[in-house]
Amino acid sequence: MDLQLDCLARSVASARTLEELTRPLLETLEAVSGLESTYLTTIDLEAGVQQILYARNTGLLQIPEGLSVPWNDTLCKRALEDGRFFTDDVGACWGDSAAARELGIHTYLSSPVRLDDGSLYGTLCAASTGSRVLPVDITHILLLFAGLIARQVEREKLIRQLCLANEALARYAATDPLTQLANRRALQQKLMQMLEDRNARDIPVLIAFVDLDGFKAINDRYGHDVGDQFLVELAARLRSILRSGGMAARIGGDEFVVVELCPDASEPDRLAAARQAFHERIFLATAGEYPLGDVRFDYTGASVGVLDVRPSTHDAAQALKQADALMYAVKKERRAAAARRSEASA
């Protein structure tokens, strides 16, 4: 027994999961109590169900893992209500439990597993088909084991919360708070991955640099609240046209970037056609009517510069700089065209 306790202490100390902790506890509980089945349950009070999470069976009594029974029919509920940890005559004590009759339980031992807030997680139990006389200190051992399980459940709960918080912080650090698109940092990381992907060495990356012409006029005419709504709506439109593996990002006040792979680029003509189609898809997504609450206006579309880059030929900063230059060339030409139309109509 001393050797078993030494092994148990090492198992408890090294346990990283609830299962790694519980299984040696069930084995030790079986050895100490002499009962043929030991098991840990979880209880869903809202659903009214008790389920066997982990079990150890060494005799005729077989309590399978995954077994679910109505909570109102369980011995555990009756033991909790009566404040009773042990009985060696289940039939005389709680003969109305159909589940106990079906399983043939005669001797029963259990303790609630309660979390720090007092909520009931489940029960730690031992049972047998025959009558057993238990050691005088078995209740102390049972409570100790139930406490260890509760601490592990709390620990895993805290770890999950920390992981979720870390994921949320990571998303926050990579997300533009207004539009919920990726921010500049996330875009640079994504673009760097795409340009350094050795498995996609022959697949060009398409980069569209988008600048919202006339955005200042929208703010001046309708106010910054409407301007923010415009940015949010435009971001949603860019998000809606993304293809698998692509990304849309807001990298400045009125500047956006969309990136995606161009797998069908085996020939120069195909690449040129894909680049043109990408440009049109982005431009058309930005243009059109914008109903923004009480305000509604037509937007003639953004200036969009599109660059295709093969992996390992540019780094992310270089590629964005070139796409930005192409966008400004488009913006310059659009301004010149507008000026020519104005002169022609004068």
Catalytic residues: 254
Residue entry with tokens 């600048």: 211
Tell which residue, 151, 103, 145, 102, has the closest CA to residue 125: 145
Report yes or no: 50 and 24 within 8 Å, Cβ to Cβ: no
Instruction: Say if CB 322 and CB 208 are below 8 A apart.
Output: no
Strand partners for 298:
289
| Rounded distance between C-alpha atoms, residue 231 and residue 216, angstroms | 12
Instruction: Measure the N-to-C terminal CA separation of the chain; round to a whole number of Å.
Output: 103
Per the CB < 8 A criterion, the answer to whether 28 and 5 are in contact is yes
Copy the structure tokens of residue 131: 């009558």
Close Cβ partners of 330 (under 8 Å, ≥ 6 residues apart): 303, 304, 305
- Give the CA distances from residue 317 to residues 88, 278, 310, 326, in Å, rounded to whole numbers and listed in that order: 75, 21, 14, 14
Structure tokens at 168: 């949320």
Residue 242 DSSP code: P
Type and span of the H or E element at 39 = strand 37-44
A 10 A CB-CB count for 110 gives: 25
Query: And the tokens for 138?
Result: 């078995």
